[in-house]
């Protein structure tokens, strides 16, 4: 498969992620969509790394994975904490502050 | 070497020191503040003597000139310099501040901060008059604004916040435009100097270099650049003076500020605007100023007559005086932009005179407001019999303000108008016409307060019934008398001032004409 | 000699300062000592200077002494100096002399006033200012004096400052005088522009271009018209009668109002350069003389009659100056000072005796009670009516003679008309003066019985006046009217003597004494040798007709009012027009004052309030509104924010895609 | 695919400040374990924690600062770890900025934490240190890899710190919004990096620069799109319009000391990366990106200032003001793209950040002392007449606000001055004019708050001092907290001129000042820390403003090294 196939795939995944962020109200799903975006980029990196014959891309992938894991930890902790206090984690309910 | 710095920084440091006084020691705070202002006045008198001993010009390196490297790469230096024009205005400021602090003993709330702000205000104004680097000038220009804002907004009358806001916004718009001008002038001067062959010429904000008085790096700005830069500078000064139609802040500010602050605003601060025109706009942009001068003159004349007419029907004491102040400043501007020796000397002389006279008028308006609690003219009347001394002092100031020959304002107004007349007959005649409405509204003002029969209703009559209105106290007399003496003295012997002003004006005119010839 | 002239200036100033600062605490005798002393010593100094001047040869009589350097600005440099020459000497003598008499008189007149000290302080200040005006050696200090006498006049008109009418009159006087100052300032600007200096010595020998000279002369005359109450700036003078009567005598009859005459005489070289301006001077003078005389015919307030008479007489003086006969103008100034001061002081004595009554309808029959006053008043009336041999005859005769001679010389018919006006005015003068005299002194006393519908003083004003503790305390019974005390009658007598003999300092050429003309000889020859020399026949025609007019006027007055004055309503529109002083005040009010005030109010409300202040508010509202609107973007919803970010992304990517 | 990895001591020396911070973060957590805890549940910190932990943290910061300062004078490599991490003077300077911001934030924390009864002390301070580490890493990045790592590192720490006050809904909301939006934006950034990598085959700045230079002034579209996405990521962190939306909400909800710290730290990190990428890596294709950045800068300056005008809550107002200041900083980026003038733009950014650091932290610091546990106390209505109640605090706040408004001789003016000067010299006079005009709007809103503090409520009694002596205060801590929590949220939104609430209503509402007083009493012994921070910030604001000139030459050199 040519490089462009990987890149198009990656772009599609990324777009799905973006749309997910925009249309879902549950922070867990939104969070998953963001993970999808990150992983879409990972796909690009891996493909590029291979086609460019460069190690940079793979290093990126490792780091992104690590970061994504950390984000999961933090994100879930936040969601749990909010749930404990409000018993509701709908992001559209979170607009005390505006204007 | 540090004389000028000492003059500028003394009130500032004194004001800061004042903040460490215990809040309850109101009397000590007041006396200390007055003492500081008086010491500052002595310092300035020392400066006067020093200047008179060895007359110096603006950039001559003498002990009345300081220059410390601050950041030469950006042309920023801590440079102070002075000539006769600065000298008289510095003296005026120091005098008025001392007087106004003396007149502020009635301020009861937050005395400490009030006094500190007054002293800071003084520092700012002195700095403006003495700075000879544009960056420094701008710093002092803004340092002047902040205390004025607080003094007006915190200790003022009912609509003080609105007035303070308007004041600051108007002034800031102007001064920010000036900031643009300041940043740009150094750059364009550098470009011009490099184009003229000075390859190693840097960005500079040193007034002496911008005026091409130094041996190297002569850069002459072309006409269009000059005009744009001039407009930027003029914006700040026109608001401060104020020229109409940029004066809308003034009636509010002057009427809402506490009287001593108004006296200082009108007496000293408004002069910084004219000074800016004289010290910066005219020498820096000699060509453009010739283009712009007719418009400024027209604005000045319109302002003179317009505000005089407005003053006729004002019902608020301090607003009336405010409009009268704009009208008189128009005369000053008219004299300045006549570009004649008489007009410019008269204009500087009139700045001093106007400062003194307006200060007395506003202080007296403040005394009256303190006694009666009202500023409405209709409430007053027939007070001369009750408070003769106050009436006399007010009458003298009113006469001075309307330009009675023999008193101080006449000298400056006469010279200004003479210069204006020589430059442009129509404008001169129209400007001179102001004496008629001026006499009209000032007498209406005086008569409305002091002559006739007391009003039968309103705050004044209530006060009269309650226990009478007292004549000037000794303290108030002590505050007013020095200014009254000056009103007479300058009227009789203006040569004392013109002797100082005239040579400096001649220098400015020389810059103007030599640059124009080029 | 010059040192003394400085003292003439400084002594009254000193008196003013002492009285002004300490007068409040001084006993009356001390006040009088200072007040009289200052003026008396000034007169003494002036007199000594005068005699020493007489002792010097005519060519060396001018002394120009610099006192100090006043100001310098560029090429403009000015010293304060004293110019003592015959002209200023004459003025000094009149000012200090008449001034002294009025100082003395005032001690009696103002005896009951609580502000006694203030009055003398002001009088001394006036003397100082007037001396400054006449003794200054340059136009600028002339202007200083000019302004200061205006101030003195203001203070003295408004002396009873609790009376609304007095206050209004004072303000009016000052503002109109400022119009004059305006003219004078412009004249000075022009003079400086043309001559480069302002001292008389330099300016009066300088030749200006014709147009400039005319402009200068006319502007100077604007000042003169304002100060000397000529058309169209005369309105303040009748109102100025609100001041105490000695003030009217001193300032508004004898001295200050003649400053204009002095100025024209002083600046005659400038006027000589501009025939047009002189024609204006003569024309305005004649017109004013007639105009004011007509108003004086029907006035009821005795001081107002005198005021209009003063305006009319000043018109004569300008008429003389308009035909180049400056010394005749000065001559009439001097004699007028005597008899008009006398008339005012006499009127003052009457008013004093009647406790403040000024209305002719409430007088009458006072000859029996006020013998000295009546006699001196009669002398003054005869003098002003131009009856030989009283002072007025000589001076008026000289003026009319010069006008006729000038008309004859130039052949200009306007000067004949001017002369005719002069003769007519002379007759009217005689008429209204004797109407006044008979109204006061002849017939029966009308004060206690007649309740006249008073249309000059309203009730309100009387209440205010009562508050001032003066003026019109109610009718006085005839038997309790007493003639004035010596302190007041002695000045009357001295002035009466002067009114009788004062004319003899003028020319006696008419009576075959061609060399007898002390005043004209004393004044510089240039001040009258521009005047036309008429033949003796012409002189006699003029003299005879003016005398005849005077006698006719007196005769008519005798026929109408010899048995006492009786006021009759008259609905004749012409009478009403004149009676109401041609409605000038009303017209002025409607045409100038009210529109200006309305303009002020309108501008203040709409332009200042709505446009400028409203504009500032509007801009601030605009920004706040924009801000409030933009805040709506900030919904608080996380997904909206994300959408915003995405939009930004799309815009940027589209931009690059399109561009790239 | 070849892969060389070698590390020498020199590399570690280059990142010494970062190393110190990481070590100190571990130490802080250890110390937290060792310290005695109060009550049954171990998470309740004992009293000692309130002083010992910040002291340790602060010492750590001082040590890191010392390390950074030493590096200025010690010979070391300008780029370490295989040209991935910069250790040049510019970076060190940025490190110092981050450390100063963090240090001041730490100083502000103890009193605040105690007042809000926050107990997870060890975590708080450790996270602060880690956030600083991340920021410094991003600021020193010479490779997109490090940019991403640094960014995520400090972002993760900040998510937690923002939502640190678990009993406060606003804080949680703030953390959540920040977390989701920031992750969203970083995904774009990452994708941008991937595209740049795709276009150039490199992730190191030097390599990408070489690649771009070869393109002859016009970059390929892949690179451009990558560039655009990169811009989004950076613009998000700088809070440029239209990516600013999160800023006010997050700043308002986060604990004030955290807000103070992050408002500076994020900007330092993001702008350093921004200026490196745009002013250095991509300066040869500046024609491509200049319009975008220019538009962003202008939009941000104008919109930030405009939106701040109608704010009635000082924290939000400062948030918008920080948006506007971000816009001014973007002007620096625009200039840095100009050939020959890159260092001027970069040095303007560095200098502006220095100035902004002190005054902004000062302003937030004052707020941190006013903030009550329910996240109120800094509304217009609360600030009304503050001068008459707490004169020094009001004076300080006014001082910082004036500095932010750009009044000389304070730092704000110096920063603006140099920035505008750079704009002119860098060939963008229009930015100078726009910036200055927008500053007038700034004056309006800053002075409005000053007016409320100083000029209103002149006649109200000194409520702050009365209840302390009257003894009417409820005594149990529980009621105090709930008492102040049960207070309805301030709703003075859409305020017109100045605070529109009448003073009497506020004064009559006695529980509010009473609660405020109790909180003050509790934390009295810890307020010294806050005061120290305020004094440092104040002095900094003043001194940076006054000594601007002496500093700039070094700064310009540092900026130059940043771009080499």
Q: Supply the DSSP string of C173-233, one letter for each residue.
A: HHHHHHHHHHHHHHHHHHHHHHHS--BHHHHTTPPPPHHHHHHHHHHHHHHHHHHTT-TTS
pLDDT for B28 equals 92
- CB < 8 Å from C in window 64-93 of A: 91-92
Q: Which residues contact C30 (CB under 8 A, 6 or more apart)?
A: none
Query: Three-class SS of residue B199?
Result: coil
DSSP per position, C231-294:
TTS-THHHHGGGS-HHHHHIIIIISGGGHHHHHHHHTHHHHHT-HHHHHHHHHHHHHHHHHHHH
* Distance from C-alpha of B458 to C-alpha of B376, rounded to nearest angstrom: 9
Please name the member of B310, B404, B447 whose beta carbon is closest to the beta carbon of C167. Answer: B447
pLDDT-based confidence at residue D458 (cuts at 50, 70, 90): low
pLDDT for B30 equals 93
Task: Kindly report the length of chain B.
Answer: 518
Please report residues of C whose CB lies closer than 8 A to that of D181. 638, 641-642, 645
Q: Is the pLDDT of residue D359 over 70?
A: yes
Please report residues of D whose CB lies closer than 8 A to that of A38. 187, 190
My answer on whether C419 and C436 are in the same domain is yes
pLDDT for D195 equals 93
- Note whether B373 and B456 are within 8 A (CB): no
**Residue C67 is inside which H or E element, if any?**
strand C63-73
B–A contact (≥3 CB pairs within 8 Å)?
Answer: no
Please report residues of B whose CB lies closer than 8 A to that of D497. 161-162
Tell me whether B477 touches chain C (CB under 8 Å).
no
C-alpha separations of C545 from B40, C512, C549 in Å: 78, 19, 6
Q: pLDDT tens digit string along B191-241?
A: 888 888 777 788 888 888 888 777 677 888 888 999 999 999 999 999 999
Mean pLDDT, range C429-437, rounded to an integer: 91
The pair of three-digit structure tokens given for residue D439, joined into one six-digit string: 């500053």
CA end-to-end distance (rounded Å), chain C: 101
pLDDT for B383 equals 87
Residue B433 CB neighbour total at 10 angstroms: 19
Q: Give the residue with greater pLDDT, B508 vs B430.
A: B430
Cis peptide preceding B445, ω within 30 of 0: no
DSSP per position, C99-114:
HHHHHHHHHHHTTT-T
pLDDT for D504 equals 39
Tell me whether B183 touches chain C (CB under 8 Å).
no
Tell me whether D280 touches chain C (CB under 8 Å).
no
Q: What is the CA radius of gyration of chain C?
A: 31
Q: pLDDT tens digit string along B248-272?
A: 999 999 999 999 999 999 999 999 9
DSSP per position, C377-446:
HHHHHHHHHT-TTSHHHHHHHHHHHHHHHHHHHH--HHHHHHHHHHHHHHHHHHHHHHHHHHHHHSS---
Domain boundaries, chain B: 291-518
pLDDT-based confidence at residue D515 (cuts at 50, 70, 90): very low
Q: Is the pLDDT of residue D233 over 80?
A: yes
Q: Strand C76-84 to strand D79-80: parallel, antiparallel, or no bridges (unpaired)?
A: unpaired
Q: Is the pLDDT of residue B56 over 70?
A: no
* Distance from C-alpha of C74 to C-alpha of B341, rounded to nearest angstrom: 5
Angle at the Cα of B464 from the Cα atoms of B462 and B467, rounded to 5 degrees:
105
Number of domains in chain C: 2
Query: Three-class SS of residue B6?
Result: helix
Q: Is the pLDDT of residue D499 over 50?
A: no
Contact between B415 and C148 using a beta-carbon 8 Å cutoff: no
Domain assignment of residue D484, yes or no: no
Contact between C642 and A92 using a beta-carbon 8 Å cutoff: no
Please report residues of D whose CB lies closer than 8 A to that of C645. 181, 184-185, 188, 232, 236, 242-243, 245
Q: Of B461, B141, B445, B411, nearest to B275 (Cα)?
A: B141
pTM of the model: 0.91
Whose tokens are 């505050």? That residue is B479
pLDDT-based confidence at residue C457 (cuts at 50, 70, 90): very low
Q: Is the pLDDT of residue D508 over 50?
A: no
pLDDT for D270 equals 95
Please name the member of C634, C638, C643 whose beta carbon is closest to the beta carbon of A99. Answer: C634
pLDDT-based confidence at residue D26 (cuts at 50, 70, 90): very high
**Closest CA in chain D for residue C658:** D221
Contact between A74 and D156 using a beta-carbon 8 Å cutoff: yes
Among B66-70, B316-320, B509-513, D380-384, the range scoring the smallest mean pLDDT is B509-513
Q: Give percent of chain B above pLDDT 90.
A: 62
Domain assignment of residue D393, yes or no: yes
Q: Is the pLDDT of residue A34 over 90?
A: yes
Q: Is the pLDDT of residue C540 over 80?
A: yes
pLDDT-based confidence at residue B516 (cuts at 50, 70, 90): low
> Which of C71, C164, C219 best tests the B interface by mutation, with the highest count of B CBs <10 A?
C71
**Closest CA in chain B for residue C118:** B388
Q: pLDDT tens digit string along C644-653?
A: 999 999 999 9
Residue D120 CB neighbour total at 10 angstroms: 18
pLDDT for D333 equals 92
pLDDT for B398 equals 94
pLDDT for C464 equals 45
Environment class of residue D528 by beta-carbon count within 10 Å: exposed (0-12), middle (13-18) or buried (19+)? middle
Q: Is C582 left (phi over 0), alpha (psi -120 to 50) or beta?
A: left
Please report residues of D whose CB lies closer than 8 A to that of B179. 417, 420, 436
Q: Is the dihedral of CA D534, D536, D538, D540 positive or negative?
A: negative
Mean pLDDT estimate for chain D = 83
Please report residues of D whose CB lies closer than 8 A to that of B142. 407-408, 413
Mean pLDDT, range D382-387, rounded to an integer: 88
Mean pLDDT, range B10-39, rounded to an integer: 92
Contact between D498 and B180 using a beta-carbon 8 Å cutoff: no
Q: pLDDT tens digit string along D112-171?
A: 888 887 878 888 999 999 999 999 999 999 999 999 999 999 999 999 999 988 888 889
pLDDT-based confidence at residue D494 (cuts at 50, 70, 90): very low
Give the D-side interface with B, CB within 8 Å: 387, 391, 402, 407-409, 413, 417-418, 420-421, 424-425, 429, 432-433, 436-437, 439-440, 443-444, 447-448, 451, 454-456, 458, 497-498, 548-550, 552-553
Domain assignment of residue D191, yes or no: yes
C-alpha separations of A41 from A11, A51, B216, D146, D158 in Å: 8, 15, 61, 16, 24
The pair of three-digit structure tokens given for residue D428, joined into one six-digit string: 């963008």
Q: pLDDT tens digit string along D527-541?
A: 888 999 999 999 999
Bridge partners (DSSP) of residue D143 are D204
Q: Is the dihedral of CA C82, C84, C85, C89 positive or negative?
A: positive
C614 to chain D nearest CA, in Å?
Answer: 15
Q: Is the pLDDT of residue D509 over 50?
A: no
- Containing structural domain, residue D339: 12-456+531-561
Please name the member of C74, C162, C182 whose beta carbon is closest to the beta carbon of B342. Answer: C74
The pair of three-digit structure tokens given for residue C492, joined into one six-digit string: 């009357």
The pair of three-digit structure tokens given for residue C419, joined into one six-digit string: 């002369």
pLDDT for D463 equals 40
Mean pLDDT, range C447-456, rounded to an integer: 50
Q: Is the pLDDT of residue D500 over 80?
A: no
pLDDT-based confidence at residue C231 (cuts at 50, 70, 90): confident
A–D CB contacts, 8 A cutoff, strictly below: 132
Mean pLDDT, range C163-192, rounded to an integer: 92
Among C129-138, D116-125, D264-273, the range scoring the smallest mean pLDDT is D116-125
Please name the member of D425, D440, D549 whose beta carbon is closest to the beta carbon of B172. Answer: D440
Tell me whether A1 touches chain C (CB under 8 Å).
no
- Note whether C202 and C191 are within 8 A (CB): no
Residue D114 CB neighbour total at 10 angstroms: 22
Give the C-side interface with D, CB within 8 Å: 620, 623-624, 626-628, 630-631, 633-634, 636, 638, 640-642, 644-645, 647-649, 652-653, 655-657, 659-660
Contact between A67 and D149 using a beta-carbon 8 Å cutoff: yes
pLDDT for D471 equals 37
Please name the member of B143, B180, B187 whose beta carbon is closest to the beta carbon of D425. Answer: B187
Q: Is the pLDDT of residue C72 over 50?
A: yes
Mean pLDDT estimate for chain B = 90
Give the E-state strand segments of D175-263 in sequence order: none
Tell me whether A98 touches chain C (CB under 8 Å).
yes
Q: Which residues contact D506 (CB under 8 A, 6 or more apart)?
A: D381, D382, D384, D460, D512
pLDDT-based confidence at residue B325 (cuts at 50, 70, 90): very high
- CB < 8 Å from A in window 292-311 of D: 311
Task: Kindly report the length of chain D.
Answer: 564
Angle at the Cα of B96 from the Cα atoms of B91 and B98, rounded to 5 degrees:
100
pLDDT-based confidence at residue C448 (cuts at 50, 70, 90): low
* Distance from C-alpha of C249 to C-alpha of C347, rounded to nearest angstrom: 9
Q: pLDDT tens digit string along C488-515?
A: 889 999 999 999 888 888 877 777 777 7
My answer on whether C535 and C634 are in the same domain is no
Please report residues of A whose CB lies closer than 8 A to that of D190. 38, 41, 64
Domain A3-90 matching CATH 1.10.150.20: the answer reads no
Give the E-state strand segments of C530-644 in sequence order: none
* Distance from C-alpha of D133 to C-alpha of D28, rounded to nearest angstrom: 14
B375 to chain D nearest CA, in Å?
Answer: 21
> Which of C73, C80, C128, C211 best tests the B interface by mutation, with the highest count of B CBs <10 A?
C73
Tell me whether A19 touches chain D (CB under 8 Å).
no
Among C593-602, D241-250, D479-488, the range scoring the smallest mean pLDDT is D479-488
Q: Is the pLDDT of residue D206 over 80?
A: yes
Mean pLDDT, range D290-301, rounded to an integer: 93
Please report residues of B whose CB lies closer than 8 A to that of D443. 168-169, 172
Q: Give me the long-range contacts of A70-77 (CB less than 8 A, separation at least 24).
A: A70/D152, A70/D156, A71/A31, A71/A34, A71/A35, A71/D152, A71/D156, A71/D179, A71/D183, A72/A31, A72/A35, A74/D156, A74/D159, A74/D160, A74/D179, A75/A27, A75/A31, A75/D159, A75/D179, A75/D183, A77/D160
My answer on whether C393 and C535 are in the same domain is yes
Contact between A96 and C636 using a beta-carbon 8 Å cutoff: yes
Mean pLDDT, range D452-475, rounded to an integer: 52
Domain assignment of residue C486, yes or no: yes
- Containing structural domain, residue C597: 588-659
pLDDT for D3 equals 64
Please report residues of D whose CB lies closer than 8 A to that of A97. 170, 173-174, 248-249, 252-253, 316
Q: Is the pLDDT of residue D468 over 60?
A: no
> Which of C620, C632, C634, C647 best tests the D interface by mutation, with the highest count of D CBs <10 A?
C634
Domain assignment of residue C198, yes or no: no
Q: What is the CA radius of gyration of chain A?
A: 17
B430 to chain D nearest CA, in Å?
Answer: 36
Q: Of D558, D79, D94, nearest to D347 (Cα)?
A: D558
My answer on whether C553 and C593 are in the same domain is no
Give, as one character, the DSSP assignment of residue D487.
S
């Amino acid at each position: 498969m040519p490089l462009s196939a990987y890149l198009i795939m990656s772009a599609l995944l990324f777009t799905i992620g973006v749309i997910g962020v925009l249309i879902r109200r549950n922070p867990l799903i939104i969070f998953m969509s963001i993970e999808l975006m990150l992983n879409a980029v990972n796909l690009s990196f891996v493909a590029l790394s291979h086609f460019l014959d460069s190690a940079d891309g793979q290093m990126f992938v490792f780091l992104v994975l690590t970061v994504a894991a950390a984000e999961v930890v933090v994100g879930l902790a936040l969601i749990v904490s909010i749930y404990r206090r409000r018993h509701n984690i709908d992001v559209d309910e979170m607009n005390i502050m505006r204007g | 070497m540090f004389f000028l710095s000492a003059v500028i920084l003394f009130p500032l440091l004194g004001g800061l020191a004042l903040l460490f006084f215990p809040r309850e020691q109101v009397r000590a705070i007041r006396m200390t503040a007055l003492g500081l202002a008086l010491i500052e006045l002595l310092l300035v008198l020392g400066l006067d003597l020093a200047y008179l001993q060895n007359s110096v010009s603006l950039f001559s390196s003498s002990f009345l000139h300081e220059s410390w490297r601050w950041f030469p790469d950006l042309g920023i230096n801590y440079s102070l310099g002075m000539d006769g024009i600065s000298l008289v205005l510095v003296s005026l400021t120091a005098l008025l501040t001392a007087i106004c602090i003396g007149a502020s003993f009635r301020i009861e709330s937050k005395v400490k901060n009030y006094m500190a702000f007054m002293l800071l205000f003084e520092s700012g104004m002195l700095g403006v008059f003495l700075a000879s680097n544009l960056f420094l000038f701008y710093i002092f220009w803004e340092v002047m604004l902040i205390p004025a804002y607080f003094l007006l907004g915190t200790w003022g009358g009912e609509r003080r916040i609105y007035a303070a806001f308007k004041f600051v916004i108007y002034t800031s718009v102007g001064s920010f435009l000036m900031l643009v001008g300041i940043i740009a002038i150094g750059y364009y001067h550098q470009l011009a100097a490099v184009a003229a062959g000075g390859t190693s010429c840097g960005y500079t904000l040193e007034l002496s270099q911008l005026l091409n008085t130094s041996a190297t790096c002569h850069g002459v700005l072309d006409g269009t650049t000059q005009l744009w830069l001039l407009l930027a500078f003029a914006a700040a000064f026109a608001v401060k003076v104020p020229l109409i139609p940029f004066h809308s802040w003034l009636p509010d500010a002057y009427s809402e500020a506490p009287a001593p602050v108004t006296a200082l605003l009108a007496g000293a601060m408004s002069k910084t605007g004219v000074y800016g025109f004289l010290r910066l706009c005219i020498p820096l942009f000699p060509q453009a100023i010739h283009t712009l001068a007719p418009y400024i003159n027209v604005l000045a004349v319109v302002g003179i007559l317009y505000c005089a007419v407005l003053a006729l029907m004002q019902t608020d004491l301090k607003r009336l005086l405010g409009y009268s102040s704009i009208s008189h400043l128009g005369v000053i501007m008219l004299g300045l932009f006549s570009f004649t020796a008489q007009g410019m000397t008269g204009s500087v002389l009139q700045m001093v005179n106007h400062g003194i006279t307006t200060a007395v008028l506003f202080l007296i308006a403040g005394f009256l407001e303190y006694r009666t609690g009202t500023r409405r003219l209709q409430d007053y009347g027939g007070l001369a019999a009750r408070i003769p001394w106050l009436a006399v002092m007010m009458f003298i100031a009113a006469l001075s303000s309307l330009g009675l020959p023999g008193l101080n304002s006449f000298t400056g107004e006469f010279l200004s108008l003479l210069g204006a007349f020589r430059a442009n007959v129509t404008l001169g005649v129209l400007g001179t016409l102001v004496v008629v409405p001026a006499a009209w509204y000032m007498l209406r003002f005086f008569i409305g307060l002091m002559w006739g029969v007391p009003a039968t209703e309103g705050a004044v009559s209530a006060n009269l019934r309650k226990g009478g209105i007292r004549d000037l106290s000794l303290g108030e007399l002590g505050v007013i008398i020095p200014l009254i003496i000056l009103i007479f003295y300058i009227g009789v012997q203006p040569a004392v001032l013109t002797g100082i002003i005239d040579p400096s004006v001649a220098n400015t005119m020389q810059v103007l004409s030599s640059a124009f010839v080029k | 000699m010059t040192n003394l002239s400085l003292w003439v200036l400084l002594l009254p100033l000193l008196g003013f300062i002492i009285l002004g600062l300490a007068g409040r605490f001084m006993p009356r005798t001390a006040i009088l000592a200072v007040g009289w002393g200052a003026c008396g010593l000034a007169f003494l100094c002036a007199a000594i200077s005068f005699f020493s001047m007489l002792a010097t040869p005519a060519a060396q009589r001018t002394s120009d002494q610099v006192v100090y350097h006043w100001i310098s600005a560029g090429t403009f440099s000015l010293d304060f100096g004293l110019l003592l020459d015959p002209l200023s000497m004459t003025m000094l003598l009149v000012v200090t002399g008449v001034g002294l008499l009025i100082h003395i008189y005032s001690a009696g007149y103002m005896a009951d006033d609580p502000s006694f000290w203030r009055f003398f302080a002001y009088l001394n200040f006036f003397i100082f200012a007037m001396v400054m005006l006449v003794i200054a050696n340059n136009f600028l200090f002339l202007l200083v004096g000019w302004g200061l006498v205006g101030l003195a006049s203001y203070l003295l008109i408004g002396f009873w400052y609790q009376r609304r009418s007095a206050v209004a009159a004072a303000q009016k006087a000052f503002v109109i005088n400022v119009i004059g100052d305006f003219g004078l300032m412009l004249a000075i600007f022009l003079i400086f522009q043309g001559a480069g200096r302002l001292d008389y010595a330099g300016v009066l020998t300088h030749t200006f271009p014709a147009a400039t000279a005319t402009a200068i002369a006319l502007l100077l005359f604007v000042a003169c018209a304002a100060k000397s109450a000529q058309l169209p700036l005369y309105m303040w003078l009748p109102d100025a009668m609100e001041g105490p009567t000695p003030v009217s005598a001193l300032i508004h009859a004898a001295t200050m109002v003649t400053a204009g005459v002095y100025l024209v005489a002083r600046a005659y070289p400038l006027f000589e350069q501009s025939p047009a301006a002189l024609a204006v001077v003569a024309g305005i003078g004649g017109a004013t003389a007639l105009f004011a005389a007509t108003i004086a015919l029907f006035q009821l307030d005795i001081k107002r009659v005198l005021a209009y008479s003063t305006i009319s007489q000043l018109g004569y003086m300008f008429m003389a100056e308009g035909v180049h006969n400056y010394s005749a103008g000065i001559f009439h100034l001097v004699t007028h000072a005597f008899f008009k001061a006398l008339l005012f002081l006499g009127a003052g004595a009457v008013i004093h005796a009647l406790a403040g009554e000024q209305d002719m309808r409430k007088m009458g029959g006072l000859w029996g009670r006020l013998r000295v006053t009546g006699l001196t008043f009669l002398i003054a009336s005869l003098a002003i009516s131009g009856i030989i041999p009283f002072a007025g005859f000589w001076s008026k005769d000289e003026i009319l003679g010069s006008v006729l001679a000038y008309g004859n010389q130039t052949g200009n018919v306007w000067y004949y008309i001017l002369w005719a006006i002069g003769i007519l005015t002379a007759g009217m003068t005689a008429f209204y003066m004797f109407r006044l005299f008979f109204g006061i002194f002849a017939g029966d006393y009308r004060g206690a019985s007649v309740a006249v519908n008073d249309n000059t003083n309203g009730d309100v004003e009387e209440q205010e006046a009562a508050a001032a503790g003066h003026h019109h305390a109610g009718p006085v019974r005839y038997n309790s009217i007493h003639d004035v005390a010596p302190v007041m009658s002695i000045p009357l007598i001295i002035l009466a003597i002067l009114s009788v003999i004062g004319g003899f300092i003028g020319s006696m050429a008419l009576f075959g004494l061609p060399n007898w003309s002390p005043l004209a000889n004393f004044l510089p020859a240039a001040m009258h040798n521009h005047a036309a020399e008429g033949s003796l026949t012409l002189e006699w025609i003029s003299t005879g007709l003016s005398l005849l007019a005077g006698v006719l006027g007196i005769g008519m007055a005798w026929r109408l009012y010899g048995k006492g004055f009786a006021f009759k309503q008259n609905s004749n529109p012409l009478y009403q027009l004149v009676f109401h002083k041609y409605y000038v005040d009303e017209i002025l009010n409607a045409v100038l004052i009210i529109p200006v005030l309305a303009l002020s109010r309108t501008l203040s409300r709409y332009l200042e309030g709505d446009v400028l202040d409203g504009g500032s508010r509007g801009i601030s509202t605009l920004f706040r509104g924009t801000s409030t609107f933009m805040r709506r973007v900030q919904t608080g919803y996380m997904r909206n924010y994300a959408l915003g970010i995405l939009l930004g992304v799309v815009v940027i990517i589209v931009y690059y895609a399109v561009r790239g | 695919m070849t892969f060389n990895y070698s590390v020498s001591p020199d590399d570690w020396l280059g990142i010494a400040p970062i190393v110190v911070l990481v070590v100190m973060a571990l130490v802080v957590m250890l110390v937290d374990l060792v310290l005695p805890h109060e009550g049954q549940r171990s998470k309740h910190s004992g009293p000692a924690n309130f002083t010992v932990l910040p002291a340790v943290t602060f010492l750590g910061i001082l040590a890191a600062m010392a390390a950074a300062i030493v590096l200025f004078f010690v010979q070391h490599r300008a780029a370490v770890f295989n040209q991935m991490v910069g250790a040049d003077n510019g970076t060190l300077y940025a490190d110092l900025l981050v450390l100063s911001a963090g240090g001041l934030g730490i100083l502000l924390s103890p009193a605040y934490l105690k007042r809000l009864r926050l107990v997870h002390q060890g975590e708080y301070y450790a996270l602060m240190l880690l956030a600083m580490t991340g920021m410094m890493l991003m600021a020193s990045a010479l490779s997109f890899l490090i940019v991403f790592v640094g960014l995520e590192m400090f972002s993760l720490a900040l998510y937690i710190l923002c939502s640190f006050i678990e009993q406060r809904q606003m804080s949680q909301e703030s953390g959540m919004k920040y977390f989701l939006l920031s992750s969203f934006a970083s995904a774009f950034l990452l994708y941008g990096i991937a595209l740049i990598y795709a276009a150039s085959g490199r992730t190191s700045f030097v390599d990408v620069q070489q690649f771009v230079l070869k393109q002859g002034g016009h970059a390929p579209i892949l690179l451009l799109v990558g560039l655009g996405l990169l811009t989004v990521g950076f613009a998000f962190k700088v809070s440029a319009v239209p990516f600013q939306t999160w800023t006010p909400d997050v700043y308002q909800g986060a604990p004030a000391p955290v807000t103070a710290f992050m408002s500076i730290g994020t900007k330092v990190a993001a702008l350093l990366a921004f200026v490196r990428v745009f002013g250095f890596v991509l300066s040869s294709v500046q024609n491509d990106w200049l319009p975008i950045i220019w538009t962003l800068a202008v939009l941000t300056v104008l919109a930030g200032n405009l939106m701040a005008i109608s704010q009635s809550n000082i924290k939000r107002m400062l948030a918008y003001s920080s948006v506007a200041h971000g816009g001014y900083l973007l002007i620096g980026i625009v200039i840095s793209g100009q050939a020959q003038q890159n260092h001027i733009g970069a040095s303007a950014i560095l200098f502006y950040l220095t100035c902004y650091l002190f005054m902004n932290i000062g302003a937030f610091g004052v707020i941190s002392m006013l903030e009550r546990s329910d996240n109120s106390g800094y509304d217009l209505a609360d600030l009304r007449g503050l001068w008459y109640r707490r004169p020094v605090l009001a004076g300080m706040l006014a001082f910082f606000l004036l500095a932010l408004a750009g009044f000389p001789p304070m730092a704000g003016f110096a920063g603006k001055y140099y920035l505008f000067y750079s704009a002119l010299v860098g060939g963008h006079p229009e930015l100078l004019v726009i910036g200055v005009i927008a500053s007038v709007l700034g004056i309006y809103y800053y002075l409005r708050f000053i007016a409320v503090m100083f000029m209103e409520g002149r006649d109200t009694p000194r409520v702050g001092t009365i209840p302390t002596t009257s003894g009417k205060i409820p005594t149990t801590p529980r009621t105090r907290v709930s008492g102040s929590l049960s207070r309805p949220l301030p709703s003075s939104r859409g305020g017109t001129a100045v605070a529109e609430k009448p003073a009497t209503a506020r004064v009559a509402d006695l529980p509010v000042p009473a609660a405020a007083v109790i909180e003050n009493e509790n934390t009295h012994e810890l307020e010294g820390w806050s005061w120290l921070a305020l004094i440092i910030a104040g002095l900094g604001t003043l001194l940076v403003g006054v000594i601007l000139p002496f500093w700039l030459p070094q700064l310009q050199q540092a900026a130059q090294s940043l771009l080499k």
